[in-house]
Amino acid sequence: MKNNIYKGAIDYIEKKLEDYNEKPFRKDQIWLWLFKKDATSFDEMTDLPKKLKEKLESDFYIKLPKLIKTIKSEDDKTIKLALRMEDRAIIETVWMKEQNRHTVCISCQAGCKLGCRFCATARIKFKRNLEAYEMISQLLYFKRSNLIDRVVFMGMGEPMFNLTEIEKAIEVITSDYGLTISPKRITISTSGIPHGIVYIADKMPKIGVAISLNSVSEKTRTELMPIARKYPIRELLNAAKYYTDKTGRKITFEYVLISGVNDSRDDARHLLELTREIPCKINIIPYNPIPSARYKKPDSFEIDKFRTYLMSGKATITVRFSKGSEILAGCGQLGAEL
Ligand code: SAH
Ligand code: SF4
């Protein structure tokens, strides 16, 4: 039976080349053809010996997941794709253009088990972790017609529960034989799994980390994000401090701002206090409404008020006006249409 070459190229091409009696450097050539030059047939791989091409042809097929939907925003600055994997798991992925930045937001799981109350991904059934080649395939689709200079693991799923595959995907993203994107332009967003943050600090110190803090009250945070019951805010902040000490980089705290839930002056004051010792950016994400949730989107006055409170501290404050919320491609909206 033939296998998917994207999977093979990432997971076990070294072993295959050995079986074929080929030199290890052939791996680099194969990666270049697949990940840089978007080859769609083995025939195109002109610098591979004929014999090797024939072997590859008999063992593998070249196939990306099936594209089942493309939605573009009116200004063409956001594109959302729905892709169907070989086992029929469906995921969504988003490309965004902002000034001169071109970012792809990757999904790392089909669905998410964590059940955050404000997130559309939590409403669909969790299917499974994605494999590294399935994450890379999200980039390969966009790459054919769009620039990519940044990658964020902020799509469907919790990255810290799939770190082994993410690490492999990052190898392709950063490799000169792959997408040649600097690790500094890659960010992993987590609902807040302390040991995952420590792992990144130790093993992938150049990768950016964003923590979805979302509330500074243990009670509210647990109501919004059931996983918070397991990891108290203090533990999370300790992991964040470990990351900034170890890597010398700032960490990002994401804060989904929900009207009347976590947007008071006290919340802002408390947020500044808690993060005072940690070199960080605070990224306010105004809540994007999702079907059948009872939360309210903050209006521009409320957003500005909260931002102004925070500006009195040391942290850099940004507001992420979700790109593509009109096509349900904003933060937390992936899966809403599946
Ligand atoms: N599971 C990871 C990454 C995916 S979610 C995490 O939770 O961090 C990416 C970001 O979108 C998180 O910061 C999350 O808090 C935010 N988000 C989820 N639902 C949202 C919504 N409805 N509106 C705005 N942001 C949302
Ligand atoms: Fe999962 Fe992140 Fe959505 Fe929470 S916000 S349900 S962790 S994808």
Ligand 2 mutation pick, 94, 114, 221, 229, max ligand atoms within 8 A of CB: 114
Q: Whose CA is nearest to atom 5 of ligand 1?
A: 154
**Domain boundaries of the chain, sorted by first residue:** 3-61, 66-327
Q: Please name which ligand lies nearest the alpha carbon of 331.
A: 1
For residues 33 and 254, give the distance between their C-alpha atoms in angstroms, rounded to a whole number: 37
337 catalytic? Reply is no
Q: Whose CA is nearest to atom 4 of ligand 2?
A: 116
Q: Is 334 in the pocket of ligand 2 (CB under 6 A)?
A: no
Average pLDDT, the chain: 96
Q: How sure is the predictor about 323, in pLDDT bands with cuts at 50, 70 and 90?
A: confident
Looking at this protein, which amino acid is placed at residue 285? I
**In terms of CATH architecture, what is 3-61?**
Orthogonal Bundle (1.10)
119 catalytic? Reply is no
Q: How sure is the predictor about 241, in pLDDT bands with cuts at 50, 70 and 90?
A: very high
Q: How sure is the predictor about 293, in pLDDT bands with cuts at 50, 70 and 90?
A: confident
H-helix or E-strand spanning residue 130 = none
Instruction: Quote the ligand 2 centre to 227 CA distance (angstroms).
Output: 10
What is the per-residue pLDDT across 47-69, written as a single tens digit (0 to 9) for each?
A: 999 999 999 999 999 999 999 99
Print burial letters for 204-228: b (CB count within 10 Å at least 16), e (below 16). beebbbbbbbbbbbeebbbebbbbb
The pLDDT value recorded for residue 89 is 97
Q: Tell me if 3-61 shares its fold with 66-327.
A: no
Identified catalytic residue from 92, 131, 134, 158: 92
Burial category of 120 from C-beta neighbours within 10 Å (exposed 0-12, middle 13-18, buried 19 and up): buried
For residues 33 and 44, give the distance between their C-alpha atoms in angstroms, rounded to a whole number: 8
Encoded tokens for 95 = 């490309």
Give the mean model confidence (pLDDT) for residues 129-135.
Answer: 98
**In terms of CATH architecture, what is 66-327?**
Alpha-Beta Barrel (3.20)
